[in-house]
Amino acid sequence: MRPAQAIHNWQTDQKADPNLPEQKPQYVSAFRALSGYVRPHIWAFIGVFCCTLIAILSDLLQPFLMKIAIDDNLLAGKNDYKGLLTICAVYLGLSVSSLLFTYLQSNLLQHIGQSIVARVRKQLFGHIMKQSMRYFDRMSSGSLITHVSSDTEALNQFFNQVLLSLFRDGLTLIFIIVMMFQLDTTLALYCLILLPIIWLIAIAFRSYMRTTYQIARTRLSRMVAFVAENLSGMNVVQVFHQQKEQEKQFNERNSLYFQANIREIRTNVVFGRTFEILSNLSIAFVTWIGGNAVLGQNLEFGVLYAFIAYIRQFFQPINTITQQWNTLQSATVAITRIWTVFANKPDIMDRKLDDADSHKFEPEKKESQYAAADLSDADAGLSLEQVKGRIDFDDISFSYEEGIPIIRHLDLHIKPGELIGVVGTTGAGKSSLISLLCRFYDVKEGSIQIDGADVRDIPQATLHRVVGLVQQEPYLYSGSIIDNVRMFDETISREEVIRACEFVGADTIIKKLRNGYDALLSERGSGLSAGERQLISFARIIVFKPKVLILDEASANLDSHTEQLIQNALHIVSQNRTTIVIAHRLSTIMQADRIIVMSHGEIVEQGNHQQLLEHDGHYRELYEHSQGHVAV
């Protein structure tokens, strides 16, 4: 079965049982989903199977060899030194063979497991990257990190622990039982009496172990999510002196996780010891029954020796298989969670694909599924080279949640090359408006067009080449300034980047940094001020040349020098491109061709600075506030 088929099966299984609570292991669907990934490694699995078989036989033949040495050699009184030496040599050979094939089997299985996990991880990350903003509104970054890191790792454990144990310990058990019957049927039947007892103990422990395991995993996820949340909001934590409170909350989670772990470990230890006691009781039992038979001359001593050796080996695989229950649990929950992510079809997709293949998502087809290359620019009636930059918001309405309208029947028509300022009170819907233009979300009613082409018809890759966005908090990656400006696109030369930075006036700031353009920025560019980060974003715009520029102006108070730099940069980058500026300081947009005033998702006023002041409405009020140095 191909992975695509496997995932489709999984999705079908999900639909068949929609009432299954989230996170509950769904073994059948999870393994059906995984089967597609196993198929390419089928020969390697056959190799693992053969190695395991040889290793087990090498192990299990050792007691049998001892039985031969005792009964046919030592107690037979033959004084056959040569025969004894041969047995010892074969014994040694079996030990070496067991070692060698265990090593091969383990290496091979690790390789398969890691390859599958690497593939799943790659597809998972790619799939997450393709999700729309609505998805990230819902999902915490902590749980997504868990999916990509520990859930995929649990998958690896499935191959290297669960599967290995099922293979090796399952086969060992079968062979031991066969060997026991081979040696002595009566004694073997006595031993089998133990099986139901072992089974009952395993069942009793299993449900307890499952509960303790799930509690531990849930508590770990909560702790990870809490850490991720705090790291992303560290500035807020520090500004509000929340360190102690957050530490207290973290300690609570940490302590709950600690307790769950201790409980889990205790359960495992009790289970292991119970098995050891059972193993010792069985040995005593077999020694008594078998010893009597040996004394009564009904059993050879070598057979009893081999039997005791097999009984010792008998409990170890049962113990291991039962212990693997935890890992099986975690792997199944992990697979379920990973495939829940896979099953989520992005709600923003290129239209052709949307229509043709809206019923299912297949991870390994994703390249073609999402690739804008499938759709030529001409499909959308938009040619990248000839875009003029006319934008029409035609009677659009939008809401994040049903019943809470954010934008209501908004009409806005922007001419190519026009500079538009957007102002309004907090929550008026300014950022939402540009999110719609960038198609982070889709409108509920109406349409947004660029040069007459509906944004929903424009391939996303093309749309994001046409529309450039400089955010309030520009995102910079860990990497050099050069790479941040050219967004790791090696086809853009270093000289081009430097010219762009000089053009927007970021050059002097960058040169002051140690290593200049090669200075490595830490995560999110935390070494730079908000204004400096915006200047670097402007340089990106120059390099990538979008026809439409959106600027969500930094609301932080900038020093007058940086503010002036940003003003100049804006003036430069807005030349020959349609520019929309969401302004938090009116000074930024006083020169705009047109200013839009928004309130409660509607445009309440529009005109140039002078006209709006004369109008004596919202804008004038905002202006007077700003003159009083109150940010809008």
Ligand X SMILES: Nc1ncnc2c1ncn2[C@@H]1O[C@H](COP(=O)(O)OP(=O)(O)OP(=O)(O)O)[C@@H](O)[C@H]1O
Give 333 or 433: the residue with its C-beta nearer to ligand X: 433
Measured from the CB of residue 404, what is the shortest distance to ligand X in angstroms? 8
Whether 457 contacts 434, CB under 8 Å: no
Measured from the CB of residue 279, what is the shortest distance to ligand X in angstroms? 59
Cross-sheet strand order for the sheet of 453-454: 404-414, 391-401, 445-450, 453-454
110: Cβ–Cβ under 8 A, 6 or more apart, which residues?
A: 160
551 is a contact residue toward ligand X (CB under 6 A): no
- The first and second tokens of residue 354, run together, are 């949307």
Residue from 208, 400, 475, 477 touching ligand X (CB under 6 A): that is 400
For 455-461, the CB contacts below 8 A with 24+ separation are: 456/351, 457/351, 457/379, 457/380, 457/381, 458/377, 458/380, 458/382, 459/350, 459/372, 459/374, 459/375, 459/377, 459/379, 459/380, 460/348, 460/350, 460/372, 461/371, 461/372, 461/373
Q: Considering only the stretches 245-253, 380-388, 419-427, 619-627, report the one whose residues sit in contact with ligand X under the rule CB under 6 A.
A: 419-427
Measured from the CB of residue 431, what is the shortest distance to ligand X in angstroms? 3
Give 48 or 406: the residue with its C-beta nearer to ligand X: 406
Give 422 or 455: the residue with its C-beta nearer to ligand X: 422
Q: Considering only the stretches 117-125, 323-331, 420-428, 537-545, report the one whose residues sit in contact with ligand X under the rule CB under 6 A.
A: 420-428
Measured from the CB of residue 534, what is the shortest distance to ligand X in angstroms? 15
Measured from the CB of residue 346, what is the shortest distance to ligand X in angstroms? 16
Measured from the CB of residue 256, what is the shortest distance to ligand X in angstroms? 30
3 is a contact residue toward ligand X (CB under 6 A): no
Nearest-10 crossing angle of helices 243-295, 301-343: 150
CA distances, 478 to each of 159, 468, 484 (Å)? 34, 21, 8
> Which residues, in sequence order, are bridge partners of residue 550?
469, 580
Measured from the CB of residue 425, what is the shortest distance to ligand X in angstroms? 7
CA distances, 467 to each of 354, 389, 416, 565, 578 (Å)? 22, 9, 13, 23, 9
Measured from the CB of residue 427, what is the shortest distance to ligand X in angstroms? 4
Q: Considering only the stretches 99-107, 142-150, 340-348, 424-432, report the one whose residues sit in contact with ligand X under the rule CB under 6 A.
A: 424-432
Residue located via tokens 């102006």: 553
Measured from the CB of residue 587, what is the shortest distance to ligand X in angstroms? 16
> CA–CA separation, 86 vs 158, rounded Å?
41
In this structure, the dihedral spanned by the alpha carbons of residues 247, 250, 252 and 257, taken in order and rounded to 10 degrees, is: -150
429 is a contact residue toward ligand X (CB under 6 A): yes
432 is a contact residue toward ligand X (CB under 6 A): yes
Burial (CB < 10 A; 0-12, 13-18, 19+), residue 479, is middle
Give the number of other CB atoms < 10 A from CB of residue 241.
8
Residue located via tokens 């390099």: 543
Whether 424 contacts 437, CB under 8 Å: no
> CA–CA separation, 190 vs 286, rounded Å?
8
Give 146 or 432: the residue with its C-beta nearer to ligand X: 432
- The first and second tokens of residue 350, run together, are 């290129």
Name which of residues 243 to 262 contact ligand X (CB under 6 A).
none
Q: Compute how many residues bind ligand X; rule: CB under 6 A.
A: 11
Q: Considering only the stretches 39-47, 58-66, 423-431, 571-579, report the one whose residues sit in contact with ligand X under the rule CB under 6 A.
A: 423-431
Measured from the CB of residue 398, what is the shortest distance to ligand X in angstroms? 9
> CA–CA separation, 331 vs 191, rounded Å?
33
Give 17 or 137: the residue with its C-beta nearer to ligand X: 137
> CA–CA separation, 168 vs 48, rounded Å?
10
Measured from the CB of residue 429, what is the shortest distance to ligand X in angstroms? 4
Q: Considering only the stretches 47-55, 97-105, 355-363, 428-436, report the one whose residues sit in contact with ligand X under the rule CB under 6 A.
A: 428-436
Whether 365 contacts 147, CB under 8 Å: no
394 φ, ψ (degrees, to nearest 5): -105, 100
Give 402 or 495: the residue with its C-beta nearer to ligand X: 402
Give 431 or 568: the residue with its C-beta nearer to ligand X: 431
Q: Considering only the stretches 23-31, 430-438, 450-458, 541-549, report the one whose residues sit in contact with ligand X under the rule CB under 6 A.
A: 430-438
Measured from the CB of residue 430, what is the shortest distance to ligand X in angstroms? 4
Give 285 or 623: the residue with its C-beta nearer to ligand X: 623
> CA–CA separation, 577 vs 276, rounded Å?
78
431 is a contact residue toward ligand X (CB under 6 A): yes
132 is a contact residue toward ligand X (CB under 6 A): no
Residue from 155, 406, 497, 596 touching ligand X (CB under 6 A): that is 406
Site string for ligand X, 160-179 (x = CB under 6 A): --------------------
Give 19 or 426: the residue with its C-beta nearer to ligand X: 426
Measured from the CB of residue 602, what is the shortest distance to ligand X in angstroms? 12
421 is a contact residue toward ligand X (CB under 6 A): no
Measured from the CB of residue 369, what is the shortest distance to ligand X in angstroms? 25
430 is a contact residue toward ligand X (CB under 6 A): yes
Whether 91 contacts 109, CB under 8 Å: no
Q: What phi-psi label fits residue 508: left (phi over 0), alpha (psi between -120 and 50 degrees) or beta?
A: alpha
Measured from the CB of residue 351, what is the shortest distance to ligand X in angstroms? 23
426 is a contact residue toward ligand X (CB under 6 A): yes
Strands (DSSP E) contained in 444-540 are 445-450, 453-454, 467-470, 479-480, 520-521
Residue from 137, 445, 518, 614 touching ligand X (CB under 6 A): that is 137
Q: Considering only the stretches 210-218, 425-433, 514-522, 587-595, report the one whose residues sit in contact with ligand X under the rule CB under 6 A.
A: 425-433
Give 113 or 429: the residue with its C-beta nearer to ligand X: 429
427 is a contact residue toward ligand X (CB under 6 A): yes
Of 249, 324, 316, 239, residue with least CA distance to 282: 316
State the DSSP string of 254-294. HHHHHHHHHHHHHHHHHHHHHHHHHHHHHHHHHHHHHHHHH
Give 279 or 432: the residue with its C-beta nearer to ligand X: 432
Give 123 or 588: the residue with its C-beta nearer to ligand X: 588
- Which residues lie near ligand X (CB under 6 A)? 137, 400, 406, 424, 426-432
